[in-house]
Amino acid sequence: MNTTTVKAYGTLAADQDVKPMDIQRREVTAKDIEIQIMYCGVCHSDLHTARNDWHSTTYPAVPGHEIIGKVTKVGSEVTKLKVGDFAGVGCLVDSCGTCPSCQQDLEQYCQNGWVGAYNGEDKHLGGMTYGGYSQKVVVDEHFVLKVPANLDLAATAPLLCAGITTWSPLRHWNVGKESKVAVIGLGGLGHMAIKLAKGLGANVTLFSRTPDKTKDAKELGADTVIISTDEEHMKSVAGTFDLIIDTVPYVHDVNPYVGTLNTNGTLVLVGYLGPLDPILNTVPMIMGRKSVAGSLIGGIAETQEMLDFCGKHNIVSEIEMIKMKDINTAYERMLKSDVKYRFVIDMASL
């Protein structure tokens, strides 16, 4: 298969910085769209992958799955977009298309293995997929999203992961005007969760470790802010929430939050991947028919639904634009929760 060499930023090992490298992109096949990348959001998953936190990274790894760009080439059978259109690509770039999950527009739960924008098995070139920290990407049109014309392009990039990852549980658990929703952690996912839950009409509470974020959270739409390290403050919301979206990236005690669920309420983990510590106490779950669940990004149709909703309600991410060369500093700042509230790389700086 013919390929072209494009500039990218990636990492060669868990203990190395992200630095310039060349990668190959395939020539468009009949169903493919080639996109010149303009902006790429920086997700905490990029950092987990670059540093092999999940023990699953194959190197070299080129992160980035919040991609916005301009279509530069389309295959002969492409109908979704044309050259010159703006396009989005998120975490998903391939799936089998035939299993029960794919048939229900749940490509992220593909039973034959979904392919991530990075560190996924590249079915075309072999090896692993390379993400959005690069000049160009080539993706099957099914996995390319249309971008609402009224939204700022750079601030739209984070919707492709942070947006859909929080939208999907809000929709699955039927959040609406009567709902009481809480969000744990005010970072990239957390700030989108607040905006989207508010957009759906819910009453929204933020749980944060960081009292300094209270003012921002209210400006983003939170009705209430609870400091999660303050036991009395936590008790004040016992038995309250229909849905809690937990975005914390590292192991933490989920039990105090289960106590704040209403009867039939669900706490959905989207951040931390791995065994819980301390272990989950089932008593409050059984006594109140409460659930602890998980959720992974969202399917392509649901991602388009979220983008269209954001277009209608003028919802975008709060971003700090960075140059590609500053990515390692951005990771360090992200680890200190020093980002308001999503870094976006200006790919013209590559």
Q: Which residues bind Zn ion (CB under 5 A)?
A: 43, 45, 161
Q: What mask, x for binding ligand NAP by CB under 6 A, covers residues 269 to 298?
A: -xx-----------------------xxx-
* Nearest residue to Zn ion, scored by beta-carbon proximity: 43
Chain-centre distance of CA 267, in angstroms?
18
> Rule CB under 6 A: is residue 64 a binding residue for ligand NAP?
no
Q: Look at residue 297 and give the partner it binds from ligand NAP, Zn ion, none, a contact being a CB closer than 5 to 8 Å depending on partner kind.
A: ligand NAP
CB neighbours of residue 208 within 10 Å: 23
CB of 340 to Zn ion, least distance (A): 18
Q: What mask, x for binding ligand NAP by CB under 6 A, covers residues 24 to 53?
A: -------------------xxx--x-----
Q: What's the first-to-final CA gap in the chain, in angstroms?
A: 26
Chain-centre distance of CA 36, in angstroms?
21
Q: Which residues are within 8 A (CB) of 211 and not within 5 positions of it... i.e. 6 or more apart?
A: 227
> Rule CB under 6 A: is residue 188 a binding residue for ligand NAP?
yes
Q: How far apart are CA 301 and CA 281, in angstroms?
A: 36
Sign of CA dihedral 209, 213, 214, 217: negative
CB neighbours of residue 45 within 10 Å: 28
CB of 157 to Zn ion, least distance (A): 11
Q: Are 316 and 151 in contact (CB under 8 A)?
A: yes
Q: Look at residue 57 and give the partner it binds from ligand NAP, Zn ion, none, a contact being a CB closer than 5 to 8 Å depending on partner kind.
A: none
| Closer residue to Zn ion, CB minimum distance, 187 or 199 | 187
Q: How far apart are CA 132 and CA 141, in angstroms?
A: 16
> Rule CB under 6 A: is residue 319 a binding residue for ligand NAP?
no
Tokens at residue 120, please? Answer: 């996924």
CB neighbours of residue 245 within 10 Å: 32
User: Which amino acid would we find at residue 130?
Assistant: Y
- Taking CB under 6 A as the binding criterion, the range among 11-19, 120-128, 141-149, 248-256 that sits at the site for ligand NAP is 248-256
Q: Using CB under 6 A, which of 163, 249, 265, 311 touches ligand NAP?
A: 249
Of residues 148 through 177, those in contact with ligand NAP by CB under 6 A are: 161-162, 165
Q: How far apart are CA 4 and CA 71, in angstroms?
A: 16
CB neighbours of residue 101 within 10 Å: 18
Chain-centre distance of CA 193, in angstroms?
11
Q: Which residues pair with 207 in a beta bridge?
A: 184, 226
> Rule CB under 6 A: is residue 92 a binding residue for ligand NAP?
no
| Closer residue to ligand NAP, CB minimum distance, 179 or 208 | 208
Q: Tokens 């690509």 belong to which residue?
A: 89
CB of 71 to ligand NAP, least distance (A): 25
> Rule CB under 6 A: is residue 90 a binding residue for ligand NAP?
no
* Nearest residue to ligand NAP, scored by beta-carbon proximity: 187
- Taking CB under 6 A as the binding criterion, the range among 22-30, 72-80, 195-203, 242-250 that sits at the site for ligand NAP is 242-250
| Closer residue to ligand NAP, CB minimum distance, 60 or 256 | 256
Q: Which residues bind ligand NAP (CB under 6 A)?
A: 43-45, 48, 161-162, 165, 185-190, 208-210, 213, 247-250, 252, 270-271, 295-297, 334, 337
